[in-house]
Amino acid sequence: MSKKYSNRLVNATEMVNNAKKKKYAVGHFNINNLEWTKALLEAAQSSKTPIIIGASEGAIKYMGGYKVVAQMTNALLEELDINVPVALHLDHGQSVESAKKAIDAGFSSVMFDGSHLGFEENMQKTNEVLEYAKLHEVSVEAEIGSIGGEEDGVIGDGELGDPEEAKQITDLGINILAAGIGNIHGQYPENWKGLSFDTLEKISKAANKPMVLHGGSGIPQEQVKKAIKLGISKINVNTECQLAFAEATKKYVQEGKVDINKGFDPRKLLQPGAQAIKDTFDELTNWFGCKGKA
């Protein structure tokens, strides 16, 4: 057994297992650039909160590649002296190859999203990822059903997961299960029907593994808390931080601060957005129950 990721990164297994046992959920926060990553790590450290840093294939490409993301995260962990548990997770990996690339680059956790495939092919490819991940002590997340909405060009209609499929795929030995339970990526429409708690309860019982709630941004607090009680141990957040960042940056520009005292300097221009990410992290991790659990 060998680990390709740094000594400061951990895989997500212990984090989500503790969350499942103690009935809270670990926050998985997607990153988009250096400022995003730094803000989240500083917020996690200051509040003594475990965190899963997520990067989608599209965000990884935008930031320069798998190695750039892994090495940037590792360097920040060292330079900022971050000592809370941090996992670096490939979010919605669409192929076995992308999962292997992430592992080789130093990611400590990967998701293989085979929900767009037939179930047998999803099983086969999930197992292939799992076998490679085991060699490097990397945690693996798999998905059944599909998450509604669109993320990086992947479109799901929001198919509800099947409990029997959940049991079969978790029996492979995965660490975390994602399943469609009425959740969607992006902002929730006004006519959204809400989470299917009946589906969640059946899948959670069949799988007996920590489960993840994708599309966590915008779900009402009472539904989030109920989902955690029924087996959700990891909640993915992206849109909520993006909206907070955009709003804070827009306010800074509209107030004319960009034209005062070299306010155009990126270090000043991006600071309000970075603070908004920290504030969002603090608010949501409080909801999730993971705040201070490092």
Q: Which residue has the tokens 């990891």?
A: 234
Beta carbons within 8 Å of 250's beta carbon, 6+ residues apart: none
Radius of gyration of the chain (CA): 18
CB atoms within 10 A of CB 109: 30
- pLDDT interval class at 150 (50, 70, 90): very low
- pLDDT interval class at 182 (50, 70, 90): confident
Please tell me the pTM assigned to this model. Answer: 0.92
Tokens of 186: 């992006």
The residues carrying an active-site annotation are 91
Per the CB < 8 A criterion, the answer to whether 178 and 147 are in contact is yes
- Residue 216 predicted with pLDDT over 60: no
CB atoms within 10 A of CB 189: 11
pLDDT at 256: 95
pLDDT at 157: 43
pLDDT at 156: 42
Range scoring the smallest mean pLDDT among 88-102, 103-117, 193-207, 250-264: 193-207
CB atoms within 10 A of CB 194: 12
User: What are the domain boundaries of the chain?
Assistant: 13-239
d(CA 24, CA 15): 10
Per the CB < 8 A criterion, the answer to whether 187 and 150 are in contact is no
d(CA 259, CA 262): 6
pLDDT at 74: 97
Give pLDDT tens digits for 224-274: 899 999 999 999 999 899 999 999 999 999 999 999 999 999 999 999 999
The beta-strand segments (E) located in 66-179 are 86-93, 109-112, 139-144, 149-151, 154-156, 176-179
pLDDT at 149: 47
Report strand pairing: 149-151 vs 154-156.
Answer: antiparallel
Report strand pairing: 109-112 vs 232-237.
Answer: unpaired
E strand or H helix that includes residue 55: strand 51-56
- pLDDT interval class at 193 (50, 70, 90): low
| CATH number for region 13-239 | 3.20.20.70
Q: Is 106 helix (H, G, I), strand (E, B) or coil?
A: coil
| 145 vs 19, residue with greater confidence | 19
| 153 vs 94, residue with greater confidence | 94
Per the CB < 8 A criterion, the answer to whether 178 and 231 are in contact is no
Task: Report phi then psi at 110, rounded to 5.
Answer: -140, 150
Give pLDDT tens digits for 8-65: 999 999 999 999 999 999 999 999 999 999 999 999 999 999 999 999 999 999 999 9
Tokens of 173: 């030995």
By CB neighbour count within 10 A (0-12 exposed, 13-18 middle, 19+ buried), where does 275 fall? middle
E strand or H helix that includes residue 56: strand 51-56
pLDDT at 1: 58
Cβ-defined contacts of 117-123 (< 8 Å, 24+): 119/144, 119/165, 122/169, 123/168, 123/169, 123/172
- Identity of the amino acid at 209: K
- pLDDT interval class at 196 (50, 70, 90): confident
d(CA 264, CA 176): 43
